[in-house]
Structure 1
């Protein structure tokens, strides 16, 4: 990865994005699809932090213009792969003579991500493994890339996002990416999660082969499945089972273990032939302190009660409102949009009326950003939960969220 050329291209993408955002801000016409195509082409080749940021943004289905969100979403499944010769160079540097370990390695990857790509391999013992290989040179260009991403994120000020929040989001992204450079840490997370959920017959987690794991290569057993993003046409029973498993797993993650898998894009989850949930990627796991979780549930309870004053109090307790004057009318409309998903009985996450109301509210939320701000220390948690919400939407989930949340709200009261 050549640093100078990457910097020049990132600056060019940033300028093009800034121009589009400015035109939109001034009421002009913006071709969001064309911008999305340009970002997809540029970022899928460059990889690294900027591509990771775009993948994060693509999960904000209710915020971005649909044409832009759709193009960025392609980065989760259609990113341009790196040539096999470059990947082989990394494997040789880590393992030495590949023929001594593997009888075969597929040169065409079956997945390409922001920090690495995935190849199947077969050992001389006949075991099929997955090799997640970090892109060569990524460690050397990471800090330079992050500096350019920070410049690009300043464009968010045009959307009235205060600099302190942009800085917090950047630091969250930077810390996460630096942590993802060490694949040994992910191997350890796989081991921890396999032990933690050994009692869950409906959850499958690949097993790391520690002897073959290095800081730049993660070797794990191959677990075949249909990615969550491809389940939209699957039988309804299969989708509902996966949706229920996903909701159960998230609840146990948060309220039993105080951690959360923080990369919810749909390519990280799948379903096998038995209808079990497969969890592929554990490169990003965050702690969730009980006190923070309890305060967020206070906000949910106030929202479900459709009590704008209580919503404001909870948001202030979270450190998430700035300026003068609570936007009570916006609180009321937000509560009215969210509350139907938590009414007693089975609720349909595929109900387009709910998403339409949320999308219609987005411009008003952005317009009130000088008063409403997501708390800096809950940005990653909020983004992750939002991503899982949209995973449930994609599955067309039908869940009794009222029954699921009542014990959690009671738990939150016991924490105070």
Structure 2
């Protein structure tokens, strides 16, 4: 009965979303704020894959209508927590007698998200840990929810995204969600990253407590910190130090180790008392093949050269265009807006003019969707990079992106010869 209720509510939200998209396509004005409020209320309670999809969408700040993006972004920081009795049931399922392992567990969550929530606890030995608890029954409803999410995603056909492309996008999303339920894989990722960056004094990752972890709960030693969103009002030196660490870490992840942290919403990051970047969640880490990196560098190189024909060639290489390709004027305009971010010297990510220009370009991108499609096998990578970019914007980062990318571009040109 509960599963049928979830299905009905998801279908209702899908119908409401479809109505707004159809109204817009017919030339009307949709009430994006009202739609966002309705989606926030419904998804915050339902949790699961649909809420995760909405969180992903909220990070597309440069594509979604601002009112809708702002409401969906609330799902990252104000999601309604699951009542304690249901979380306690999940802990009992994992531990049996909870009192045999912990002296106290905070009933109020430390953080709540789409697939689980985090509670502080104190072990019998007096150590403070955090318990990432998977929502009860989530694995059982996952496939049912995914069917409804797929129906909602098919609304993208009204935006001229092909059905084959939507199928591929859905498959990547579904694989990512299933992977997030594997807490043993996240524990392994935490151990791998702790070893990999042990000598980088600017980064810290929680240590998993394996003897207290299992299928439904991931236990980690507690690391306190100021959330990234709260750093927006911090002093400039703190913000710049965290921004530098974040940018350097992303670059090293991609181009040294061929991986990327793919869940970049702000709640996963903080600054600790020593000024280090804390990365709390490694539930979504994706491999990035060298061929994909080469194609992205090819696109960036063409963009910085403001060469629309080379940009079109790079998009074809990425699988991101079809038919005759996008209008060359669109490539030229995009290059004009993007290139300044990679000019020599420090660039100010807090300069809102750049983001307004990119947002203003979005309608033209959507209008060319019959020729310019999101590459199906780079959805997660593109979304992750976009999310990390907006975290740098929130920090008002000042970064020399030319210094970071010039050696990579030179190496890419050499490899292509």
**Shorter-chain TM-score: which interval?**
over 0.9
CA distance in 1, matches of 2:356, 2:152: 29
> How far 1:302 sits from its partner (Å)?
0.4
Cross-structure match for 2:75: 75
Which residue of structure 2 aligns with residue 319 of structure 1? 319
Superposed counterparts of 1:269-284, under 5 Å? 269-284=269-284
Structure 1 window deviating more from structure 2 (369-378 vs 351-360): it is: 369-378
The answer to whether the 8 Å contact 2:342/2:402 transfers is yes
The answer for the alignment partner of 2:329 in structure 1 is 329
Give 3-state SS (helix, strand or coil) of 1:133's partner: strand
The offset of 1:161, in angstroms, is 1.3
Q: When the two structures are superposed, what TM-score results if normalisation uses the length of structure 1?
A: 0.98
Match of 1:115 in 2: 115
- Report Cα offsets for 1:18-62 as digits up to 9, x if no partner: 111111111212111111010000001000000000000000000
Q: Distance in 1 between matches of 2:413 and 2:305?
A: 15
How far does residue 178 in structure 1 lie from its aligned partner after superposition? 0.8
Per-residue deviation, 1:411: 2.5
* Pairing 1:86-235 to 2, within 5 Å after superposition: 86-235=86-235
Q: How far apart are the structure 2 equivalents of 1:59 and 1:326? A: 24
**Contact 2:209–2:221 at 8 Å: present in 1 too?**
yes
Q: What SS does the corresponding residue of 1:231 show, helix, strand or coil?
A: helix
Query: 2-side partners of 1:265 and 1:372: how far apart?
Result: 26
Q: Deviations over 1:108-159 (max 9, x none)?
A: 1021100001100000111000000000010110000000000000111111
In the alignment, structure 1 residue 64 sits paired with structure 2 residue 70: no
1:21 equivalent in alignment to 2:21: yes
Deviation at 1:317, TM superposition (A): 1.4
Q: Structure 2, unaligned stretches of length 5 or more? A: none
Q: Indicate conservation of the 8 Å contact 1:62/1:359, yes or no.
A: yes
Q: Which residue pairs with 2:293 in the alignment? A: 293
Tell me the SS of whatever aligns to 1:286.
Answer: strand
Q: How large is the RMSD of aligned CA atoms in angstroms? A: 1.0
Q: Distance in 2 between matches of 1:333 and 1:39?
A: 34
Alignment length (residue pairs): 416
Give the stretch that moved more between structures: 392-401 or 375-384: 375-384
Q: Which runs of no fewer than 5 residues in structure 1 stay unpaired?
A: none
Q: Does 1:344 align with 2:339?
A: no
Whether the aligned pair in 2 keeps the contact of 1:291 and 1:415 (CA below 8 Å) is no
- What is the 5 A alignment of 1:245-394? 245-394=245-394
Give a deviation string over 1:203-243, Cα, whole Å, max 9, x none: 01000000011011000011101111221101111111111
CA distance in 1, matches of 2:9, 2:230: 32
Q: Residues of 1 paired with 2:325 and 2:117: CA distance? A: 48
1:161-215 deviations in Å (ceiling 9; x for gaps): 1112211111111001111112111111111111111011110100000001101
Q: Is the 8 A contact 1:290 1:415 kept in 2?
A: no
**1:55 matched residue in structure 2:** 55
CA shift, 1:413, in A, is 2.6
Question: Are the aligned partners of 1:348 and 1:398 in contact in 2 as well (CA < 8 Å)?
Answer: yes
Q: Which TM-score applies when normalising by structure 2?
A: 0.98
| In structure 2, C-alpha distance between the alignment counterparts of 1:16 and 1:157, rounded to whole Å | 16
Kept after mapping to 1: 8 A contact 2:312/2:325 = no
Q: What are the Cα deviations for residues 254-308 of structure 1, in whole angstroms up to 9, with x where unaligned?
A: 1111111110111111111221100000001111111110111010000001010
Taking the aligned partners of 1:271 and 1:22, their CA distance within structure 2 comes to: 43
Q: Deviations over 1:323-358 (max 9, x none)?
A: 125410000000001011111111101111101110
Q: Is the 8 A contact 1:294 1:413 kept in 2?
A: no
Range that drifts further, 362-371 or 325-334? 325-334
**What SS class does the counterpart of residue 322 from structure 2 fall into?**
coil
Give the secondary structure class of the aligned counterpart of 1:117: strand
For residues 22 and 40 of structure 1, the distance between their equivalents in structure 2, rounded to whole angstroms, comes to 20
